[in-house]
Structure 1
Amino acid sequence: MFNKIISSISITVLVFAMLSGHSHAQKKPQNPLVKPRDFSSFPDFGYMVSVADYEEMYSDHPVFKLKTNYPRKLPKRSSLPKALKIDFVKDWEKYMDSVKQYCFAGNIPEWNPHKNKQRNWYHIPWLHPSSPTFPPNGGTEGFHGLIKEAPVGSYQLHHTQTNNYQIYAITLINEYAGYTMGKMWKDKNNPDPGATDHRYGGGFPEGTIFCKLLFADVQPDDNSVPYLENPIQWQGYITESWNSPTRAVRYLRLLQMDIMVRDKRADKWMGWVLGTYAYNGKLNKRHCKDKEKDTKCRFKNLVPLGLQWGDDPDVTDNIINAYPYTKTKTNPKLKQTVINPSPDLPPQHLGWGMRLNGPADLNTSSCMSCHTASQFPAITPLVPPDATIANGFAPPPNGGNAAWMKYFINIPAATSSDPRAFSTDFSLQVAMSLQNFADAKTKNDEGYWAVEFGTGRKPVSRAQQD
């Protein structure tokens, strides 16, 4: 989940200009995604050590390769995830376990869909460039395809944590989501943003699942977040700090996993079910007896944090788990969020009004409030005004008023919160990919292909060349 996203001013102005003078809400927004260049294939990543350094020092590391051979036909209903047969309200824990096992099958420990022999998973393209707006110096790195997501301030993860961190993430989408991505990117030079907007027959189908791993750049000698002991640890070519333009090979630890499930039983709320799991390395001995250093086994240390299927628009309590916190406080008024009461879950700050949010996210928003702002171009801000004014140490001054609550209404799937924009159907990364492609019209975004880092590599054109 992102803390903030800002659209390209030029693209937004272009869309506004094209829409000015038209009062019909159902009129399709003008598609600004005109051909910038001829891309025969998507670049795999945007930032990497030099080929020479890779061969000399990192040849035992993976090289990220995008997987976008999306299905052309909608997968059969017989392949729908088993979680869709579990009541996510009454049996939320079974639902979360079923989705977790679905995400894990064939994907762990490497999280590489090319090696999955059980089912097809894919990536979202066009996340490789750095946006001119947010996040600073972003774009995918070349070992694991991690993208920069959010900063983490002091005490956000634990009451003993004073260091600042940054969050990097990698998302896999299943074949149902892949079908919609295939429609959007059928022509790689002219993506169709209407593919995720219900006004134009778009939207992700039932059974769509997004699974995202989120890592914090907690270094091996840093013990200020106790539950991140016995870590799942990767190395990535990432920035040295949130605002730094300099990249280096640094360690990251798995912090959480987020899921999104398109479940039609949730249509009376928003049509999506969102969930979060938090890593707790203190459970490693229990989960991985006699194989405590087995990375695949350590994925069992992801503990369900909670599930959300609506944003409880009638609950206006302006309360938060302010930093620093030592326990998870919940709100019994919430009926569309459930938080795991198990002591296996490390203390959590949650979101505004104690709605669901993960440790990497703000305590003044919610999973749903962020994802309802998924649109292209990004006209609606990702978080309410003043959401970050106190940096999580106090409730927002205007929390709960009418303007604030506009961010906590239940918006149906594939519906844009602003009719001037295309809905990207709850996917912020799809919104980012479309914006990145649009930005490429006016500048040359270099990208790299995995084959450039393999033995016996052959020359491959960069993205700026025809």
Structure 2
Amino acid sequence: MKTQALSLLGTTRLLSRSDGPVFAISDAYSTAVPDTDLPWLKFNPFDPTLSPDEKLRQASGYMWAIMAYIQEGNINSGKVSTDWTLCNNPVRKWFHIPFQTYEPLNGREFVHGLTREAPVTMELKSDGGSRQLKTTMWATAFYNPAAAQSLSTVWTASGKPVIPKKNFHFNEGSVIGKPLFTTATSNEYPYLTNLPVWRANINAPDFCVCTPSSGQQCTFSEQTEQCPRTVSNVSLLQFDIAVRDQRSPIGWAYGTFVADGQRKSKEPNPWNRISPLGLMWGNDTPPMGTAAINFPANPRQTGFKDGVIFWNVADMMNLQTGGGHLGCNGRLNGPADNAKSSCLSCHQTASVPDADNKSPAIIYQFGNFNNNNGQCLAKPTALDLKIDRTYFKNFQCSTPFIGPTNIVPVPDYLSGRPKWISLDFSLQLSISLTQWQEWQLAQQHPGMSPRSPGSSFLPGLGAKPAF
């Protein structure tokens, strides 16, 4: 076990003992021994013959079985602030992804290892009116032994990656858990009441943005000076899960839990004061000529073929905020995520970065195409309909993200390979390789300004890239 270099740039004071631990990375992937007992296999929400009510029951059982598995040995440390210290788990080993620390704006902070994610502007409702609150999300991700064994083929004991030359795949039974923390408070989001609160070394809650003095990108020094960090409170808002399950039509299932602290105030486990928002195993691809925003028709009444939504939980969030917005036409996406996408729509773009350190845009609108087109638009053009058919297509696990070249640009791999190399839905693995390549370039050209992780087609700014 080694402690990874952390993003201490911009720290305004030393961490006191009362603030929490000091993050240590768990990255001994080659020592991972996959589990043989997989408790979520007792449930099968993928069975197409299930009634709508039974489908919901199976999905709920499946999600809670996975949550119990993720929590086992990682919580009940005696204090919420020291839970999820993976190196101390007495039951099974869990692991982090390396190289999330490279730049000061978003890099891994030193208390819990959280990285900065999306800016979230949330509608707050009160007294018949509303206002907009700017917040920032901070998150981490945990990989079980089956997933870590797969990661060991990329991130070796040497600390240097073996960058995949062919499509990467996670083992069957791989599980990833991802808690997301918000800079909002329970006074602003009442459902955060009774939820775990961590101290973390973060920059401004309203998502600080750096302005370069010259050139197109800020230097690291400018990022540090303009967006200094300080140890502040963040609250658990969302907990995502991803499971490699061969019973799923695409090989993966993605689920989201959200804060429900008022209704679950009597729950003794603070990490269970959450409720399932939904589970998905496909994008419900719109038919030719139909917009994603209009398909399926009336999903609240008719449901989704490729997933379930717990509408009562979305309604709970929407009573006091806009947190139950979901994704495009009600597809699964949490309050931390983009309403024009879905969990799978983003994650299926995960690819090995090319020679220009680019990878596909996780949402078409983030791709710097310099047009007014996009996915999930209310008045789509012919191109927008093709974008919907691409971004809401059901891609199989470990297959390249492909589409028309004006939607998914061709990669510039040194090998000449014309298709993107899949990273099996892992955006965090893609980011680790992107930052590694950026660091290698910086060693060769010390005076060069860094490229922002949100620039060009890189996954990062404006959506959730954390697993």
The secondary structure found in structure 2 opposite 1:273 is strand
1:258 aligns with 2:240: yes
Aligned partners of 2:293 and 2:376 also within 8 Å: no
Matched to 2:94, the amino acid is W
Give the match for residue 204 of structure 1: 170
Cα distance in 2, alignment partners of residues 117 and 281 from structure 1? 28
Q: Given the superposition, is the C-alpha separation of residues 154 and 414 from structure 1 closer, same or farther in structure 2, using an over 3 Å criterion?
A: same
The secondary structure found in structure 1 opposite 2:143 is strand
Q: Given the superposition, is the C-alpha separation of residues 157 and 71 from structure 1 closer, same or farther in structure 2, using an over 3 Å criterion?
A: farther
1:167-316 correspondence runs (5 A): 167-186=137-156, 188=158, 190-194=160-164, 197-198=166-167, 202-219=168-185, 223-240=187-204, 241-244=206-209, 245-266=227-248, 269-288=249-268, 297-314=269-286, 316=290
Cα distance in 2, alignment partners of residues 391 and 238 from structure 1? 32
Aligned partners of 1:276 and 1:306 also within 8 Å: yes
Unaligned runs of 5+ in 1: 1-39, 132-136, 289-296, 321-327, 446-466
Once the 2 structures are TM-superposed, how far is the Cα of residue 333 of structure 1 from its aligned partner? 5.3
Identity %: 29
Cα distance in 1, alignment partners of residues 425 and 292 from structure 2? 25
Once the 2 structures are TM-superposed, how far is the Cα of residue 42 of structure 1 from its aligned partner? 6.8
Q: Given the superposition, is the C-alpha separation of residues 281 and 41 from structure 1 closer, same or farther in structure 2, using an over 3 Å criterion?
A: closer
Say which structure, 1 or 2, has more relative contact order (CA 8 Å, 6+ apart).
1
RMSD: 3.2
1:298-325 CA deviation, whole Å, 9 max, x = no partner? 11211000000011113645549xxxxx
1:57-456 correspondence runs (5 A): 57-58=16-17, 61-72=20-31, 75=34, 78-79=36-37, 81-89=38-46, 90=55, 91-108=58-75, 109=80, 110-130=83-103, 137-155=105-123, 160=130, 162-186=132-156, 188=158, 190-194=160-164, 197-198=166-167, 202-219=168-185, 223-240=187-204, 241-244=206-209, 245-266=227-248, 269-288=249-268, 297-314=269-286, 316-319=290-293, 330=300, 332=302, 334-342=304-312, 345-347=316-318, 348-377=324-353, 378-385=358-365, 395=378, 397-398=380-381, 401-418=385-402, 420-443=419-442
Once the 2 structures are TM-superposed, how far is the Cα of residue 44 of structure 1 from its aligned partner? 4.2
Once the 2 structures are TM-superposed, how far is the Cα of residue 260 of structure 1 from its aligned partner? 0.5
Once the 2 structures are TM-superposed, how far is the Cα of residue 278 of structure 1 from its aligned partner? 0.4
Cα distance in 2, alignment partners of residues 395 and 331 from structure 1? 20
Structure 1 length as normaliser, TM-score? 0.72
Unaligned runs of 5+ in 2: 47-54, 210-226, 319-323, 403-417, 447-467
The secondary structure found in structure 1 opposite 2:430 is helix
Aligned partners of 2:203 and 2:230 also within 8 Å: yes
The secondary structure found in structure 2 opposite 1:287 is coil
1:91-112 CA deviation, whole Å, 9 max, x = no partner? 1111011011111111124111
Structure 2 length as normaliser, TM-score? 0.72
Matched to 1:436, the amino acid is Q
Once the 2 structures are TM-superposed, how far is the Cα of residue 43 of structure 1 from its aligned partner? 2.3
Q: Given the superposition, is the C-alpha separation of residues 155 and 259 from structure 1 closer, same or farther in structure 2, using an over 3 Å criterion?
A: same
Aligned length: 374
1:119-163 CA deviation, whole Å, 9 max, x = no partner? 1100000111128xxxxx110000000001101013289984521
Once the 2 structures are TM-superposed, how far is the Cα of residue 230 of structure 1 from its aligned partner? 2.1
The secondary structure found in structure 1 opposite 2:133 is coil
The secondary structure found in structure 2 opposite 1:88 is coil
Cα distance in 2, alignment partners of residues 424 and 67 from structure 1? 21
